Structure 1
Amino acid sequence: MARRSSLSIRIVEGRNLPAKDITGSSDPYCIVKIDNEAIVRTATVWKTLSPFWGEEYEVRLQPSFHCVSFYVMDEDALSRDDVIGKVCITRDVLAEHPKGFSGWLSLSEVDPDEEVQGEIHLRVEVLESEAGRRLCCKVLEARDLARKDRNGASDPFVRVRYNGKTQESAVVKKSCYPRWNESFEFEVPEAAGEQLCVEVWDWDLVSRNDFLGKVVFNVPGLQAVRQEEGWFRLQPDKSKPREAEGNLGSLQLQVRLRDETVLPSSCYQPLVQLLCQEVKSGPQDGKVHLITLLDETTTAECRQEVAINLVKLFLGQGLVKEFLDLLFELELAKPCEPNTLFRSNSLASKSMESFLKVAGMQYLHAVLGPTINRVFEEKKYVELDPSKVEIKDVGCSGLHRVQTESEVIEQSCQHLQSYLGELLAAIAKSAPACPAIVRAAFRQLFRRVRERFPEHQHENVKFIAVTSFLCLRFFSPAIMTPKLFYLREKHADSRTSRTLLLLAKAIQIVGNMEAAAGRAKEAWLAPLQPALQRGVTRMKDFITELVGIEEKEELDLQNALTLQTLVVKEGPLFVHKTRGKGPLLSSSSKKLHFSLTSEALSFAKTPNSKKSSSIALSNIRAAEKVEEKSFGSSHVMQIVYVDEEGQQETVYLQCKCVNELNQWLSALRKACANNPEMLCSYHPGVFRGDKWSCCHQKDKTGVERPAGARHGGAAHLPPPLRPAGAHEGEVPGAAGGPGNPQWTLEPP
């Protein structure tokens, strides 16, 4: 049995942000930190004081975390990004809202003296002697200190204050895990009412020293216990007056904390067997189906989560096609109108939508990617609504003239028809590329609807049933917000966003199989009617081909696909060279294209070139983060593996952002979850010269301390890895500092 916690985070939008640029605007983005460790960075929304992000994340974490903070930053190209403000939500506040916290929160000023993290190991005692009482404070070491310098580390020293006297330790250069082992003594007067304050500072040569945190002891209380020793969490300095909240704008958030107890897999087997039996048996007359009970007893808020879990369960059991078919039958058995079929948020609709996102994301990228990239690159002005048309000058110098409204609309119509034609052509020829399991689900849906509505007047219903999922719930949302579907790294600007919205609206109209559907409410779409009518015809032909593959061909294709290895994740990564004998370590290229499959982690110089070599998943022993100071770079992960000779090697790979890093780590950990020889501990640094950068240990293969470090006790090095077969995020006793990657991120 294990405990695990997860955070569902939705960063909606901001408003009334202060202007940080000379243009009177800002370029805001958000960073999410859990106990001062950054885990998420949103896209930048350019030139606005009321940005919309709409980004969702699922974060697995340790139950012992303290707070989650949202920092709103202003991106600058030539200087360091400005901090606009932050919102901090403690774990206690989230626990008070079991259904989730949702609303607007005012941004507060970010004081550097409050941005502290880490812990310090102290031994404090009161000694009695003939000369009187003496207060002895031994400063041993610290861990997970904040990084204040540009090199990704700090130069920490300790300042101990008592009874008006101050003593300081030596400075440890370039370390967030310093060791001092220094003692400080003070005379204790008869009326001992003072406090002992242990402060940690970052030493700077040219600027003022940076505050890293403090610990305060009550001396009279120490006299009673005589001695106190342990790891103490560094606290911020809150003595400064704060700027009034509300002057920095506000942030709309939706955050939900879930604490769960995970039982051994054997405890869930009866439920899994029951669900599988129900799906295999199908609907039976006079019997209330378990799936029907799930649909009727779940609320609209949690139905999406239930659908995702059921889809993943039946995908793992190889019964997802039967599960979806059962949902189609149960949904069609209800009284329903042809024009509203599968338009509600029922369990069937949510399950099919979740299934497409799980099984069809690569297909979506192949179909939409080229057109979406073209829209972003061309940045054409497209507007068909006369009330929103912007009139501008055209022509060369000396021959300016004002472009008329009709000219703008005509030009916009040409651009939009070009994008729509390219997109419909890509869809029309994509039937063979659609995953076999997705085709099978759509074929079952097509057949069930045709049996339910055989009348000639309902000829289009079976086509609309397919497009209600494929176009309205899959293609159109991805066109409107391509970043949320990983089609682009950043959100679109206002001009591109409007073009994407009109293109998504056109796909919706085509999906409704009614070219004139938009005339009533949006008569300005009339110039697109011929293109939309041709699109309806092409869409029907595409669906006919999509669902027309016979069972034998489908089986042959499915068998062919099973022989191919499923690509879990791929993309370019930067290789940090170290001394080693592995094929990747001896590669001449520093930037390689990596591909993670269900069997191996392979790499090549380019996406289309032949694979240079690979590391079998069974040989991987660990996949974890690396301290920034190790290479002077952020977003670096390490993969510990065993080569062909049985020697342990480590490769260090750098990702382009924190989100990409978390996705790679999550994918690697899931792929290697069943490896029986996964390491139980690791070094978060790199072995350089004759010692580890994290703990200064000189034994390259040795382990200095047992696994089990956490905030508030035990040791830091080496932090634990997930045991084989553990759920993601279940690291008993993991530390929460930057060198210890206990956070894992699930993409939306």
Structure 2
Amino acid sequence: MARRSSLSIRIVEGKNLPAKDITGSSDPYCIVKVDNEPIIRTATVWKTLCPFWGEEYQVHLPPTFHAVAFYVMDEDALSRDDVIGKVCLTRDMLASHPKGFSGWTHLMEVDRNEEVQGEIHLRLEVVPGTHASRLRCSVLEARDLAPKDRNGASDPFVRVHYNGRTQETSVVKKSCYPRWNETFEFELEEGATEALSVEAWDWDLVSRNDFLGKVVVNVQRLRSAQQEEGWFRLQPDQSKSQRGEGNLGSLQLEVRLRDETVLPSTCYQPLVQLLCQEVKLGTQGPGQLIPVIEETTSAECRQEVATTLLKLFLGQGLAKDFLDLLFQLELGRTSEANTLFRSNSLASKSMECFLKVAGMRYLHGILGPIIDRVFEEKKYVELDPSKVEVKDVGCSGLHRPQTEAEVLEQSAQTLRTHLVALLSALCRSVRACPAVVRATFRQLFRRVRERFPSPQHQNVPFIAVTSFLCLRFFSPAIMSPKLFHLRERHADARTSRTLLLLAKVVQNVGNLDTPVSRAKEAWMEPLQPTVRQGVAQLKDFITKLVDIEEKEELDLQRALNSQAPPVKEGPLFIHRTKGKGPLASSSFKKLYFSLSTEALSFAKTSSSKKSAFIKLASIRAAEKVEEKSFGSSHVMQVIYADDVGRSQTVYLQCKCVNELNQWLSALRKVSINNTGLLGSYHPGIFRGDKWSCCHQKDRTDQGCDRTHSRVTLQEWNDPLDHDLEAQLLYKHLLGVEVALREKQRLLSGETGTSSPTDRGGAPKDPLAQLLCVLQDLREAHSSSVAGAPPREPHHLLELQT
């Protein structure tokens, strides 16, 4: 049994932000922090006070986190970025919104007295005395304090207040992980109700000391316990807080907290077996469960349920069979060929998710070079005469500006070039398309052809494939490359228009140049010859894609499975020295790294032969490094054991906070089951004769901060978590259980039966079986809450073969 928390985050847009630049505008972006740890940075939207981001993230983290904060920043090229304001959502606030927090919220002023973080280690005792008891407070150490100085650290000391007296520790210079080991005593008066206050401060020579946080101890409760020791989370000083909304603007967010208690695998086996049995039997079986699940799932959570089901069946090797069943169900209720797969049905949502999970690397290979070219060229492209702005184009000759006709022709030629390049890459990619994607498209093509066999519907099987491949996969990725990880930044207005027009052309090709799609925008007519040629190419590509025999598919799949695909790859800077002396950016050498399920490797370039660097099983921790260590906030360390078991550390520098967290997330996920994972680490480096973070002189010191092995970002290439997907599905079914029971009652009434049972006493009706399985899981969860081990399920199912 394991407890897991996750945050689903969508940063939608901002409005009415204040102008931070002399131009009367701002260049806003968002930083997301969980307990003051930066985990996400959105792209910058240039020169606007009403930015749109539309970026989505999922973060897995320990259930002990306290708050998630959204900082809206203004990017500056020549100075430090300005803080516009923030929105803070506490864990309790998110827990009070089971369906998620959604809406506009005002940005609040960032108050330095509230920007606290970290914990302090205290030992508190009530010591009996001859005349009166004494209160003893030992200030041992602190960790993860907020860096208040320009060097990326602080100079912390502690003030202890009780009953009108104040005592202070010594100052520890340049550390966010100080160790004091100092003890203070106060006379404890009988019946006194005053609390003990422990405040952490950053000492400054010429300016006011900065507040780092405080802990307030209930002395009456301490009297009863006599002694207490532990790590206490530092809290803001609310008495000094003067937050205000002012005119800082608003932020639209969608944030959902999910807390799950995941039971042992055996508890979910009946649920998984029951669903797998239905998918294996397909339309030859009773065919109740999947249609009922779709019928009882509201439109707002259909994407979530589709994703959960698809991942569950991917883990069972039945994704193709599951999608095939959905295809048949939708084909069975569709009479008009031109409406096929055009709704947001469970089949459409599941296929969308399938392409992102199984085909994202393929999409990057096809679209990546074309998207890069569009961004690099930054050409002005416009086909709509009502929107042409000749002044934006410049001059075609030395003095003569281009005419509108010349702009339109040049724009059409640019789009032709991009479309031809895309279709050529697509036609060459039949073998590169993942085997499971090819097999799924082949099955879809055959099912549609069987359902609409007449000559007048000869294009319908092709349109069924392109409705997913072009309209729901390629076109959205072209329009929003940032959201498909094709680019790190959003497109500017000019590039965005080019991408939109290219996506429209791809949609026309995907629609096989039907009269309906052609009539929508008459100004697209200059591209029609290229579109018609593209339709022929696309149909030829699909024909080849679906004609590969299954035996050849299996052989290719075995060959692909024998290779370890990269989990994460890209250029990083590796530190070349052993941490001697002041460290500058020149100490790093650029190499191309690749992380697979076997090792972290590197090469001089992406095409060079790779050398194994760190074996996966040797990784002990992957963590961030303090900014002051290398003068950069984007450095990580990988701690591993060498061939003789000695602990070694390599320092790698990333180009931004997103890349840093993606690498950390990937490293943590592939090594999560390693033996010997560290529980603590040093966020600094060993320089000279001591650690830069806590100033300890023992190089083998265990570490001054906790490791963060469970904090990860969800990516499309994540390994499947079978038990979590089963738990998420159980929770959804529990929410619609009333509708399931009503459906089961209606079905029983139609057949005139009352859920007959097999010899073991379990009901034969699949829907009745599902309700029994849900009851067993409910009891298992109740047992886990009470502390007892979950019981074996009552109704174990036997799969039919």
TM-score norm. by structure 2 comes to 0.82
Corresponding position of 2:719: none
Q: Which moved more, 1:17-26 or 1:310-319?
A: 310-319
Partner amino acid, structure 2, of 1:542: F
Query: CA offset at residue 179 of structure 1?
Result: 1.5
Separation in structure 2 between the aligned mates of residue 611 and residue 244 of structure 1, nearest angstrom: 54
In structure 2, the CA distance between the partners of 1:276 and 1:191, relative to structure 1 (3 Å rule), is closer
Question: Retained in 2: the 8 A contact 1:4–1:261?
Answer: yes
Separation in structure 2 between the aligned mates of residue 682 and residue 229 of structure 1, nearest angstrom: 19
Q: Does the residue aligned with 2:519 lie in a helix, a strand or coil?
A: coil
Q: Deviations over 1:219-263 (max 9, x none)?
A: 777778776654332221233463642510100000111110011
- Residue 365 (str. 1) matches residue 333 (str. 2): no
Alignment counterpart, residue 719 of structure 1, candidates 691, 703, 706: 706
How many residues of Structure 1 are paired with residues of Structure 2 in the alignment?
708
Corresponding position of 1:684: 682
Structure 2: which 5+ runs fail to align? 580-586, 717-801
In structure 2, the CA distance between the partners of 1:646 and 1:187, relative to structure 1 (3 Å rule), is closer
Corresponding position of 1:292: 291
Partner amino acid, structure 2, of 1:684: H
Corresponding position of 1:13: 13
Question: Retained in 2: the 8 A contact 1:159–1:168?
Answer: yes
Corresponding position of 1:745: 713
In structure 2, the CA distance between the partners of 1:539 and 1:260, relative to structure 1 (3 Å rule), is same
Separation in structure 2 between the aligned mates of residue 218 and residue 564 of structure 1, nearest angstrom: 60
Corresponding position of 1:310: 309
Query: CA offset at residue 86 of structure 1?
Result: 0.3
Query: CA offset at residue 398 of structure 1?
Result: 12
1:167-186 alignment, distance < 5 Å: 167-185=167-185
In structure 2, the CA distance between the partners of 1:409 and 1:395, relative to structure 1 (3 Å rule), is closer
Question: Retained in 2: the 8 A contact 1:135–1:185?
Answer: yes
Q: Deviations over 1:281-325 (max 9, x none)?
A: 22216x134322332222223222222233333333333222222
Q: Does the residue aligned with 1:325 lie in a helix, a strand or coil?
A: helix
Q: Deviations over 1:362-419 (max 9, x none)?
A: 1111111111111101111112223322231777799755544333323322222222
Question: Retained in 1: the 8 A contact 2:427–2:537?
Answer: yes
Q: Which moved more, 1:644-653 or 1:125-134?
A: 125-134
Q: Which moved more, 1:140-149 or 1:311-320?
A: 311-320
Question: Retained in 2: the 8 A contact 1:663–1:746?
Answer: no
Query: CA offset at residue 684 of structure 1?
Result: 3.5
- Residue 145 (str. 1) matches residue 145 (str. 2): yes
Question: Retained in 1: the 8 A contact 2:621–2:640?
Answer: yes
In structure 2, the CA distance between the partners of 1:611 and 1:456, relative to structure 1 (3 Å rule), is same
Q: Deviations over 1:637-660 (max 9, x none)?
A: 333333334444332323323322
Separation in structure 2 between the aligned mates of residue 441 and residue 594 of structure 1, nearest angstrom: 33
Separation in structure 1 between the aligned mates of residue 507 and residue 645 of structure 2, nearest angstrom: 56
Separation in structure 2 between the aligned mates of residue 129 and residue 612 of structure 1, nearest angstrom: 67
Corresponding position of 1:498: 497
Higher helix share: 2
Query: CA offset at residue 529 of structure 1?
Result: 2.0
Q: Does the residue aligned with 2:284 lie in a helix, a strand or coil?
A: coil
In structure 2, the CA distance between the partners of 1:573 and 1:402, relative to structure 1 (3 Å rule), is closer
Corresponding position of 2:765: none
Partner amino acid, structure 2, of 1:174: K
Corresponding position of 1:69: 69
Partner amino acid, structure 1, of 2:501: L
Q: Which moved more, 1:632-641 or 1:214-223?
A: 214-223
1:117-136 alignment, distance < 5 Å: 117-123=117-123, 136=136
In structure 2, the CA distance between the partners of 1:570 and 1:458, relative to structure 1 (3 Å rule), is same
In structure 2, the CA distance between the partners of 1:206 and 1:501, relative to structure 1 (3 Å rule), is farther
Separation in structure 2 between the aligned mates of residue 641 and residue 273 of structure 1, nearest angstrom: 40
Corresponding position of 2:329: 330
Separation in structure 1 between the aligned mates of residue 436 and residue 256 of structure 2, nearest angstrom: 33
Q: Which moved more, 1:374-383 or 1:409-418?
A: 409-418
Question: Retained in 2: the 8 A contact 1:393–1:401?
Answer: no
Separation in structure 2 between the aligned mates of residue 589 and residue 29 of structure 1, nearest angstrom: 28
Question: Retained in 2: the 8 A contact 1:39–1:743?
Answer: no
Separation in structure 2 between the aligned mates of residue 171 and residue 334 of structure 1, nearest angstrom: 75
Query: CA offset at residue 343 of structure 1?
Result: 1.5
1:344-355 alignment, distance < 5 Å: 344-355=343-354
Separation in structure 1 between the aligned mates of residue 311 and residue 676 of structure 2, nearest angstrom: 25
Separation in structure 2 between the aligned mates of residue 150 and residue 244 of structure 1, nearest angstrom: 27
Partner amino acid, structure 2, of 1:41: R
Corresponding position of 2:590: 591
In structure 2, the CA distance between the partners of 1:630 and 1:241, relative to structure 1 (3 Å rule), is closer
1:115-264 alignment, distance < 5 Å: 115-123=115-123, 136-161=136-161, 166-185=166-185, 196-217=196-217, 229-240=229-240, 242=242, 244-245=244-245, 247-264=247-264
Question: Retained in 2: the 8 A contact 1:198–1:216?
Answer: yes
Q: Deviations over 1:534-587 (max 9, x none)?
A: 22222111111221223343333223323332222211122234659xxxxxxx
Percent identical: 74
1:385-464 alignment, distance < 5 Å: 385-392=384-391, 400=399, 403-464=402-463
Query: CA offset at residue 218 of structure 1?
Result: 6.3
1:100-115 alignment, distance < 5 Å: 100-115=100-115
1:544-559 alignment, distance < 5 Å: 544-559=543-558
Query: CA offset at residue 482 of structure 1?
Result: 0.5
Partner amino acid, structure 2, of 1:654: Q
- Residue 526 (str. 1) matches residue 525 (str. 2): yes
In structure 2, the CA distance between the partners of 1:506 and 1:246, relative to structure 1 (3 Å rule), is farther
Partner amino acid, structure 2, of 1:305: E
Q: Does the residue aligned with 1:158 lie in a helix, a strand or coil?
A: strand
Separation in structure 2 between the aligned mates of residue 101 and residue 86 of structure 1, nearest angstrom: 16
Separation in structure 2 between the aligned mates of residue 244 and residue 700 of structure 1, nearest angstrom: 47
Q: Deviations over 1:400-449 (max 9, x none)?
A: 55544333323322222222222222222222221122111111111111
Question: Retained in 1: the 8 A contact 2:203–2:210?
Answer: yes
Question: Retained in 2: the 8 A contact 1:630–1:693?
Answer: yes
1:475-494 alignment, distance < 5 Å: 475-494=474-493
Query: CA offset at residue 632 of structure 1?
Result: 4.2
Corresponding position of 1:731: none
Q: Deviations over 1:440-495 (max 9, x none)?
A: 11111111111111111111110000001100111011101101111111111111
Separation in structure 1 between the aligned mates of residue 220 and residue 289 of structure 2, nearest angstrom: 64
Q: Which moved more, 1:630-639 or 1:451-460?
A: 630-639
Query: CA offset at residue 593 of structure 1?
Result: 1.2
Separation in structure 2 between the aligned mates of residue 373 and residue 619 of structure 1, nearest angstrom: 37
TM-score norm. by structure 1 comes to 0.88
Q: Which moved more, 1:341-350 or 1:83-92?
A: 341-350
Question: Retained in 1: the 8 A contact 2:113–2:212?
Answer: yes
Q: Does the residue aligned with 2:548 lie in a helix, a strand or coil?
A: coil
Q: Does the residue aligned with 1:157 lie in a helix, a strand or coil?
A: strand
Q: Which moved more, 1:522-531 or 1:15-24?
A: 522-531
Query: CA offset at residue 61 of structure 1?
Result: 1.4
Structure 1: which 5+ runs fail to align? 581-587, 705-716, 721-739
Question: Retained in 2: the 8 A contact 1:683–1:694?
Answer: no
Separation in structure 2 between the aligned mates of residue 318 and residue 124 of structure 1, nearest angstrom: 56
Q: Does the residue aligned with 1:57 lie in a helix, a strand or coil?
A: strand
Query: CA offset at residue 33 of structure 1?
Result: 0.9
In structure 2, the CA distance between the partners of 1:87 and 1:274, relative to structure 1 (3 Å rule), is same
- Residue 269 (str. 1) matches residue 265 (str. 2): no
Corresponding position of 1:735: none
Corresponding position of 2:32: 32
